[in-house]
Structure 1
Amino acid sequence: MKRNILLALLTLGMIACGASTALAAEVPPLVSTKWVAEKLDTLKTPGQTKIRLVEVGAKYGEGHIPGAVQVKFPSEVFDPETDHMVVGLPEIERVLKSLGVTPGTHIVLYDGDGQPHQVSRFYWTLKYWNVERVSLMDGGKTLWEKENRPLTKDVPNVKRMNFEVKYPPNTKIRAMYSPHIVNALATGDPVILDCRAEKFFKGEVFSVDKWVRTGHLPGALNVFSMASVNGDREFKSKEELQKMYSEKGITPDKKIIAYCDTGVLASHAWFVLNDLLGYKNVSVYDGSMREYANRFDTPMEPGTVYEKFPKTPIQKLEGKQ
């Protein structure tokens, strides 16, 4: 009798250990369209939670990969009560429950709008909230369609699951104005990476629906995030990516804070540096220019204020000096 009980306990222990090992098994940050195509039968199986394919974007209804569900961009990617900041715990749990995933599900995200940085933002959001079993499909729907792979307008019937997100979030990958940006400006460490196109970095254009001062943070280095992908929206080789960043002084030995307008291009840079190139100390300034450039007590280069914007008290004071 005792022997049977011991064997039963041993068996249960082995099952639990196997389940834990399977759950902890790492998934690659990037999968190919071919990899996804080979999993279509699984993806289309009702009730399965092994793999969940997720289109991030606003064009899901125009046609999506069979078996895919949708995360709407930007409404389900940003906290609706903030100016494009990361979603809070209740909201990310609501989104994950609606996707029908469990902690053991391999979540595969792909870009549905031809904007790969948008899907990178949701990838970063999941990592921030400690969801580890997540990958991006390289090339997104742009490449999938170019390869003449199937699309559908059928929406899969996915059962809501009770997904409990681990708290606290991974704050190491999220930078704030204070203390992180303030400290970087004062000391030069971490390195500040501007992920926008050069014309924005140099202050040559305005985007007044986002910010009213143009230019960049003092001392920032500029590498445009979208230079990391080719015309098919596939990521360039690791050698090309490493060269692109290293040539501008963005090297693995440095701590780096990436920013852009809304934290989207910055999340794309974070994915490349952290998950493709293996950098260890990269974070995203979540507020980015929507926060920084709409303040008038922060240094900018050149920091030109949009000409139609009313004079602030600080500007009036400066005019009297």
Structure 2
Amino acid sequence: MARGALVDPAWVHRHRNDPKVKLIEIAGMGQEEMQAYKAGHVPGAACWKWKEMLWDSHARDFPSPEEFARRCGAAGIGNDTTVVFYGEGVQFGIYAWWTFRYCGHSKVKVLDGARYRWAAEGRPLVTEEPPPAAPVEYRPVKRKEKMRIHRDRVLRALGTEGLVILDGRSPEEYRGERVGGPGGPDVGAVRYGRIPGAKHLYFEELLDANKAFKPESEIRALVESRGATPDTDVITYCRMSHRATVLYFMLTELLGYRKVRVYDGSWTEWGNLVGVPIER
């Protein structure tokens, strides 16, 4: 089944031999040696380290259109290739989806529940890696800047009527008790707290025990309880924007919201800026 950009394990299995579909696991933080991938991955999946493939090599930014095209072409991805991502952790697969959409690649999907739902359905995880893809041509395309918002515009927007800012971090980070994510070192910003007026919606609340998205009715209730409706302007953020993209995906792909932007600087930028307000 496909639900917009969200596909289930059966969809991936049906397309396992489709040359126009590329399945990619994203190795997130704590997966520098691609441990989870090497221990067992969805059959046919290649593996990318998130920062090497999704960030600029020098600036804290995304690849330029020309560099994005070069990386895609080298990975065997053309403009008409459907790319399906999943991640370890799951937010990194959705971050890759968001990055591809932002960089102008429209044919991109997310495997619901990543390896967790796949395994829960009794499907095998394998250690065999696919052969390297043959390079193809990729034509540079324009970024979709409307998906993103920068710090100065966030600052100007504070207190605007009809705006909801959603914080996808853990409760401890939202309360100002930590700046690092759960289970990791408490580093990343010099100040603790949240963007003033932000409503808390921890990304894990959207997922079930198999890391798949909960039913739409449950998700909609969670979102509307934070004051966000389809006609609301929404900004999502977290620590480095990985979890923020889960909120973006949920709002745009599952609920049909259209006025959503990711503040990708998130707390590692806001919590280090001079002269901006915080709330605790």
**Both proteins in one fold, TM over 0.5:** yes
Moved more, 73-82 or 191-200: 73-82
**Partners in 2 of 1:30 and 1:269 — Cα distance?**
14
Indicate the residue corresponding to 1:200 in structure 2: 173
SS of 2:192's equivalent? strand
Q: Percent sequence identity over matched residues? A: 29
Distance 1:189 1:95, change over 3 A: farther
Q: CA deviation at 1:274?
A: 0.7
**Partners in 1 of 2:235 and 2:210 — Cα distance?**
28
User: For each residue in 1:110-163, what CA deviation from the matched residue of structure 2 results, as whole angstroms up to 9, or x when unmatched?
Assistant: 22x2x1111111100011011111111111112222333232323323111111
**Partners in 1 of 2:145 and 2:200 — Cα distance?**
24
**Partners in 1 of 2:82 and 2:128 — Cα distance?**
23
SS of 1:155's equivalent? coil
Q: Does residue 175 of structure 1 match 2:149?
A: yes
Indicate the residue corresponding to 1:79 in structure 2: 56
**Partners in 2 of 1:141 and 1:77 — Cα distance?**
21
Q: Which structure features the higher share of helix residues?
A: 1
Q: Does residue 140 of structure 1 match 2:114?
A: yes
Indicate the residue corresponding to 1:10 in structure 2: none
SS of 1:175's equivalent? coil
**Partners in 1 of 2:179 and 2:49 — Cα distance?**
27
RMSD: 1.9
Which residue of 199, 202, 213 corresponds with 1:221?
199
Amino acid at match of 1:34: A
Which residue of 131, 156, 159 corresponds with 2:134?
159
Q: Is the Cα–Cα contact under 8 Å of residues 23 and 46 in structure 2 kept in the other structure?
A: yes
Amino acid at match of 1:271: F
Q: Does residue 88 of structure 1 match 2:64?
A: yes
Distance 1:290 1:265, change over 3 A: same
Question: Alignment length, in residue pairs?
Answer: 266
Q: CA deviation at 1:88?
A: 2.8
Structure 2 spans left out of the alignment, 5+ residues:
28-33, 181-185
Q: CA deviation at 1:87?
A: 3.1
Amino acid at match of 2:177: E
Q: CA deviation at 1:91?
A: 3.5
Q: Does residue 51 of structure 1 match 2:21?
A: yes
Which residue of 52, 56, 61 corresponds with 2:38?
61
TM-score by length of 1: 0.78
Q: How does 1:23-38 map to 2 (within 5 A)?
A: 28-38=4-14
**Partners in 1 of 2:52 and 2:276 — Cα distance?**
29
TM-score by length of 2: 0.88
**Partners in 1 of 2:41 and 2:70 — Cα distance?**
22
**Partners in 2 of 1:91 and 1:60 — Cα distance?**
26
Indicate the residue corresponding to 1:315 in structure 2: none
Q: CA deviation at 1:90?
A: 3.6
Indicate the residue corresponding to 1:252 in structure 2: 230
**Partners in 2 of 1:176 and 1:102 — Cα distance?**
29
Q: Is the Cα–Cα contact under 8 Å of residues 62 and 153 in structure 1 kept in the other structure?
A: no
Q: Does residue 116 of structure 1 match 2:94?
A: no
Q: CA deviation at 1:195?
A: 1.2
Distance 1:159 1:79, change over 3 A: same
Q: CA deviation at 1:97?
A: 1.5
For the pair shown, the structure with the greater C-alpha radius of gyration is 1
Structure 1 spans left out of the alignment, 5+ residues:
1-25, 303-321
Amino acid at match of 2:140: V
Distance 1:55 1:278, change over 3 A: same
Q: Is the Cα–Cα contact under 8 Å of residues 33 and 144 in structure 1 kept in the other structure?
A: yes
